C-alpha cells in the first residue's frame, strides 16, 4: 500500500477552505497543502493538522467517523420511534453538522501517547469500520421493515421521504468508509511529504512575487508568518516551534486543477 502524498498546489487565490482532516476553516493565500493519493486530490490540510503527525490525523479521522456513525445510529432510533416525522432528514443533517465539534472534544481527551501508538490506532480503525458495518446492516433492515408497513406504503409523501433519507444515509456510509480507508493509510506514515515550514516558505515567496517591490520583510512576516501563528494559537508550543526554511529554488509546483472527494466527504 503506497503512502498518501502531501504536495504544494498553487491556485493563486485567497480563499477559505475546510480542512479535509479536522474540518477547521482556514484562509489559504495563493497555495494549498494538498493531500492526494495516486489518482486524485483528497483535500486541503490546515496548518494545525500539518503540524501534527499523520498518525494523529488518522486518529482525528477515525474519531470523526465515529461521530458520523453515531449520527446514523441516532436517525435509526428516531425512524423506529416515528417514521412519519417530516423533520427526520433535517435532523439527520443537523446531527452530521455537530460531528466535527464532538470529534474535537473527544480528540482532546485522547492521551497524546495513545494517538501515536501505531498498532493501537490500526486496531481502533478496524473496530470503527466494524461498528459502521453493523450500523449499516441494522439501518438497512430497519428501512426495509418501516417501508413495508402498509400505512407507510400507502402514504406516497412518507414513502418518498423515507426513500430520500435512505439514499442520504447510504451515501453517508460510503463516505465514512472512504474516510476510514484514508485514516488507515495515514496511520502507517511517520511524516508528511511536505512539512509546515515548507508551506510557509513557499507562500512567502509567492506573496513576495505577487507584491514585488511593495513589501518589506516586516510586512511579509505580518501577512504570512503571523497568520500561521495566530491559527496555531499564540504562545502555544505549536506556534513557537514554527521555523521558516530557506527557499528551495530547485523545486517548482505547476498549477493543477482537481476535485476533492475527501473534502466533500468530510466538509460540513
Give residue 188's pLDDT.
85
The mean pLDDT value of the chain amounts to 78
Q: 47 with 227: CB under 8 angstroms?
A: no
Residues linked to residue 29 through DSSP beta bridges, in sequence order: 14
- Residues 164-220 have pLDDT tens digits of 888 888 999 999 999 999 999 998 888 899 999 999 999 998 888 887 667 778 888
Q: 89 with 168: CB under 8 angstroms?
A: yes
Residue 13 confidence (pLDDT) above 50: yes
Counting DSSP H helices and E strands in the chain, the numbers are 13, 3
Residue 48 confidence (pLDDT) above 80: yes
Residue 258 confidence (pLDDT) above 50: no
Measure Cα distances from 182 to 7, 38, 112, 176 in Å: 16, 12, 21, 10
The Cα 187–Cα 199 span in angstroms is 22
Angle at 83 between CA 77 and CA 86, to 5 degrees: 110
Q: Predicted confidence band at 98 (pLDDT cuts at 50, 70, 90)?
A: confident
Residue 159 confidence (pLDDT) above 90: no
Residues linked to residue 15 through DSSP beta bridges, in sequence order: 28
Give residue 24's pLDDT.
85
Q: Give the distance between the most distant pair of CA atoms in the chain.
A: 75
Report CA 146 to chain centroid distance, whole Å: 33
The Cα 96–Cα 263 span in angstroms is 15
193: CB partners within 8 A, 6+ apart: 3, 5, 6, 7
DSSP state, 46? -
**Taking the complete model, does pTM exceed 0.75, yes or no?**
yes
Half-sphere exposure of residue 219: CA atoms within 13 angstroms, side-chain side: 8
Q: 194 with 201: CB under 8 angstroms?
A: no
Amino acid at each position: 500500500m503506497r503512502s498518501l502524498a502531501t504536495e504544494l498546489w498553487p491556485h493563486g487565490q485567497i480563499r477559505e477552505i475546510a480542512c479535509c482532516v479536522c474540518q477547521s476553516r482556514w484562509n489559504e493565500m495563493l497555495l494549498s497543502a494538498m493531500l492526494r493519493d495516486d489518482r486524485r486530490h483528497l483535500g486541503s490540510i490546515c496548518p494545525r493538522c500539518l503540524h501534527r503527525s499523520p498518525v494523529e490525523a488518522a486518529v482525528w479521522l477515525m474519531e470523526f467517523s465515529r461521530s458520523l456513525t453515531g449520527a446514523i445510529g441516532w436517525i435509526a432510533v428516531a425512524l423506529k420511534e416515528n417514521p412519519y416525522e417530516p423533520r427526520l432528514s433535517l435532523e439527520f443533517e443537523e446531527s452530521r453538522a455537530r460531528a466535527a465539534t464532538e470529534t474535537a472534544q473527544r480528540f482532546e481527551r485522547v492521551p497524546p501517547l495513545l494517538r501515536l501508538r501505531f498498532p493501537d490506532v490500526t486496531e481502533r480503525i478496524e473496530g470503527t469500520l466494524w461498528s459502521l458495518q453493523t450500523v449499516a446492516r441494522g439501518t438497512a433492515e430497519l428501512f426495509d421493515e418501516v417501508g413495508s408497513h402498509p400505512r407507510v406504503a400507502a402514504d406516497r409523501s412518507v414513502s418518498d421521504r423515507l426513500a430520500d433519507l435512505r439514499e442520504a444515509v447510504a451515501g453517508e456510509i460510503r463516505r465514512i468508509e472512504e474516510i476510514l480507508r484514508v485514516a488507515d493509510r495515514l496511520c502507517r506514515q511517520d511524516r508528511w511529504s511536505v512539512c509546515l515550514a515548507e508551506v510557509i516558505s513557499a507562500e512567502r515567496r509567492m506573496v513576495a512575487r505577487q507584491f514585488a517591490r511593495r513589501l518589506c520583510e516586516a510586512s511579509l512576516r505580518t501577512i504570512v508568518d503571523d497568520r500561521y501563528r495566530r491559527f496555531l494559537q499564540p504562545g502555544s508550543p505549536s506556534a513557537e516551534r514554527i521555523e521558516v526554511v530557506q527557499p528551495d529554488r530547485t523545486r517548482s509546483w505547476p498549477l493543477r486543477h482537481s476535485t476533492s472527494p475527501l473534502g466533500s466527504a468530510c466538509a460540513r
